[in-house]
Structure 1
Amino acid sequence: MDRTSRPQAVIAGRLLDGRAVTLTVRDARIAGIEPLTEALSADAANAPALPWLAPGLVDLQLNGYGGIDFNTLPLGEEQVAEVTSALWSHGVTSYLPTVITNSDEAIAELLGVLAAAADRDPLTGASIAGIHLEGPFLSPEDGARGAHSAAYVKAPDWELFQRWQEAAHGRIRLLTLSPEWPQAPDFIARCAASGVLVSIGHTAATPQQIREAVAAGARMSTHLGNGSHLMLPRHDNYLWEQLAADELTAGVIADGFHLPESLLKVFLRAKPGRIALVSDAVYLSGLAPGRYTTHIGGEVVLTPAGKLHLAANDKLLAGSAQMLPAGIGHLVRRGLATLEEAWTLASSVPAGLLDRPDLGRIELGAAADLVLLRTDAGAPVVEAVYKQGQKVIGSSGSA
């Protein structure tokens, strides 16, 4: 056989729709999908059951992990690579590191480090599918602004955004803003024309302003239901308007703490196929439960269950500390979605928002970003991960 035609990997597993298959990987892509023979796929008494085989997860919003914060300087390129490899263990093979509201200079420096880290290492660069800039073009109002610093919130500024895009080596792929600013529609249209996905978030916009943003090209809602006022008009408000807009896919934190089960059910029914699970995890995710001091929330507590709250009030969240598999497991355990449905919301749906049909799918020609997993009480447990056909998590050799 010609050495160049030898497969990079051969992986056996059961797809989330139940089919037992063997995947052949060549040149970092899925080159073959063949059904397993009945003899090979049968779970013999003395052989382990086939693992589930799923596409890699895609997280559109991640602020840090394992004590490394993408929003605190100094930030090193090695730290970005460290977070990237840590995410693989959770099945996240593509993600958008997220930079939030800060001074103009700090945003530029943070973007530059993230871009340099992606340029430096091929697997890190392949895993960073872009950068999410969340702010500073947000609502200045308390409640809607969330934890973003009021000192740095400002109106959309195209020249400033272009300077940040240059610092990011063109890698800003997602921008969260509030369309309540008068110049927002024109700004959104320019972003959309340049290939930047615009998401509505941290907003006090009127329903009319939401509609104008959608007409200008906004395609997403950032962590819908969170980062909003505690009290809203019962009919005319920005949550209902975003739910009603078929053009918008809703980013949702489904960790079991940020949104009640009833609201998750309504979101899933209102937007079938247009929900993208996000972690929105902060840098304390991945650390041991305990009490921590943060630069934004002050004293906080990370519970053994994964809830992150203010030390002074356990009813006030201090961010998210759960990875995407936790959100998937929550939907499955609560009977809100099957494993296949929930996994899709965290893989192919966000990949579609990024216009990356090669990600989040198991099909011929797709990227060989793959996860082998089992389930525990409905929740996915990652056993092995491939990034571009290379096994990055799990025992050495092909599965």
Structure 2
Amino acid sequence: MSAIGADTQRYPATLEGRNLTGGGGLRLHLDEGRISGIERISSADMAPGAPFLAPGLIDIQVNGYGGYDVNGQTATVEGVIAITKRLASEGVTTWVPTIITASEEMICRSLALVKQAKESDPVVDAAVPFAHVEGPFLSDQDGPRGVHSLEEIRPVDADEVARWCKAGPVGYLTLSPHWDDSAREIAKITAMGITVSLGHTQASPEQIRAAVDAGAALSTHLGNGIFAQLPRHPNAIWAQLADDRLTCGLIADGHHLPADTLRVMLRALGPERAMLVSDSVELAGALPGRYTTAVGGDVELSPTGRLSYVGTSFLAGSAVNLAHCLKFTVGSAGLSLADAVSLATRNPARVISRCLGRTGAAAGAPRGALIAGARADVVELSADATVCGVVRGGQRLA
């Protein structure tokens, strides 16, 4: 997909296209950045080749994009703004900055940048509901740890999380529940209003169930951040797939999960418990080659888009955006366009609403649905899920 420029072109009064969930088409009436009304129209009343209309895509796991990172010393407020603009141009109108394992000082620095970007730019404020902290309470083992810094890995500490919240808006936290007292600390964290997600773990099924009993509600990029070889059963993947209390993120870039694995996981999770994430990093969109990054060290981006840690078989994040993941899912996972779109809109929107509700923050206009009153974030899609147009906050992006 070629990027659509992020400069605003005009404020359309109406927007027409094919209906994803039924026959015919839709005419959306837009007013002051919201969808003010919706009409159903017949196919005969639509222009030939009209696109499908869908809510703006929602990616709840973005480490960086387009040469910008939300982690490390080089992260800036301007970078958060630039990522927001670039992602919107490619169909992702809501995103959650992901801050990875680092010292407490560096985690707080990144959270403060997110807070400053939201306060300084109303477009960012609308697009970024909060931040996700992935680590530092993760596995210290090669494989499950991924490329997170071993030197900064530490046991779960609810008191540290409370200090983060003074720096910036923490919506959810990814941790491994294998640590002693994990369940007790998880209960403290959820009592603060922070949603807990499980990931980068070698935890036993018993430890996973204890974490969910304590309040964990999500799984971060299920199937990744785990040993390359596992007992066939029991193991942490089966335990998370089986627990109906967990909503699971899946990286559908074609590298983190093979097509058959993605297909089976989606079948096991059903239409309500799965969501697509990109896990994109600073190098997303870069040319193939070897790079040195501030947070991942030496990495290699292959011509096929696989980003791996040099000298290992471990992946170092993804080099694509959520629109790519949506298209891969439609082409490889056996889902209809409508069902795949829900994994990149409705389901992550529900997670965001949960996180905002727990923190007591105002949710604002509804996300992830084409309904009256919702923010006018709309993508136009071809039948194969290619993004061919974007309207953000009622403004068409050129």
Q: TM-score, normalised by structure 2?
A: 0.89
Q: Judge which range, 356-365 or 101-110, deviates more.
A: 356-365
Specify which of 14, 17, 27 is matched with residue 13 of structure 1: 17
For 2:69, give the aligned amino acid. Answer: D
Structure 2: how far apart are the matches of 1:145 and 1:316? 10
Q: CA deviation at 1:34?
A: 0.6
SS at structure 2 position matched to 1:332: helix
Residue 388 of structure 1 corresponds to which residue in structure 2?
393
Q: Which residue of 1 aligns with 2:276?
A: 277
1:154-197 residue CA offsets vs partner (Å, 9 max, x unmatched):
112222111111100xx110100111123222222233333322
Residue aligning to 1:146: 146
Flag the 1:95–1:38 CA change in 2: closer, same or farther, 3 A. Answer: closer
Residues 158 and 186 of structure 2 are in contact (CA less than 8 Å); yes or no, is this contact kept in structure 1?
Answer: no
How many residue pairs get aligned? The number is: 376
1:137/1:155 contact within 8 Å kept: yes
Asked if 2 retains the 8 angstrom alpha-carbon contact of 1:70 and 1:110, the reply is: yes
Q: Does 1:32 align with 2:32?
A: no
CA distance in 1, matches of 2:269, 2:366: 23
Q: C-alpha distance in 2, partners of 1:38/1:259? A: 37
| Paired residues of 1:8 and 1:27 also in contact (CA < 8 A) | no
Deviations 1:224-251 (A, max 9, x none): 1101112222212211111110111111
CA distance in 2, matches of 1:312, 1:200: 27
Residue 130 (structure 1) aligned with residue 130 (structure 2): yes
Q: Distance in 2 between matches of 1:350 and 1:38?
A: 30
Task: Please tell me whether the aligned partners of residues 222 and 251 of structure 1 are also in contact (alpha carbons under 8 angstroms).
Answer: yes
Q: 1:298 and 1:38, CA in 2 relative to 1: closer, same or farther beyond 3 A?
A: closer
What's the % identity of the aligned pairs? 44
- Flag the 1:197–1:101 CA change in 2: closer, same or farther, 3 A: same
Give the match for residue 194 of structure 1: 192
- Kept in 1, the 8 Å contact 2:12–2:394? The answer is yes
1:315-394 counterparts in 2 under 5 A?
A: 316-355=314-353, 358-375=366-383, 378=384, 380-391=385-396, 393-394=397-398
Change in 2 beyond 3 A, CA 1:167/1:296: closer
Task: Using CA pairs under 8 Å that are at least 6 residues apart, name the structure with larger relative contact order, 1 or 2.
Answer: 2
Shift of 1:96: 0.6
Show structure 2 runs of 5+ residues with no match.
1-10, 354-362
Residue 205 of structure 1 aligns to a residue whose secondary structure is coil
Structure of larger gyration radius: 1
Sort the Cα spacing of 1:261 and 1:8 in 2 relative to 1 into closer, same or farther, 3 A.
closer
- Asked if structure 2 preserves the Cα contact closer than 8 Å seen for 1:308 and 1:319, the reply is yes
Query: What is the alpha-carbon distance in structure 2 between the residues aligned to residue 189 and residue 312 of structure 1?
Result: 39
The alpha carbon displacement at 1:203 in A equals 1.1
Identify which range, 50-59 or 299-308, moves more after superposition.
299-308
Decide which moves more: 336-345 or 96-105.
336-345
Q: Which residue of 1 aligns with 2:5?
A: none
* Matches of 1:275 and 1:337, distance apart in 2: 13
Query: So what's the TM-score if we normalise by structure 1?
Result: 0.89
Return the offset for 1:128. Answer: 0.5
Corresponding position: 1:253 with 2:257: no
CA distance in 1, matches of 2:47, 2:257: 40
Distance in structure 1 (CA, Å) of the matches to 2:275 and 2:44: 38
Secondary structure in structure 1 of the residue aligned to 2:151: coil
**Deviating more after overlay: 59-68 vs 289-298:** 289-298
Q: Cα gap change, 1:19/1:290 in structure 2, threshold over 3 Å: closer, same or farther?
A: farther
Q: Is the 8 A contact 1:25 1:32 kept in 2?
A: yes
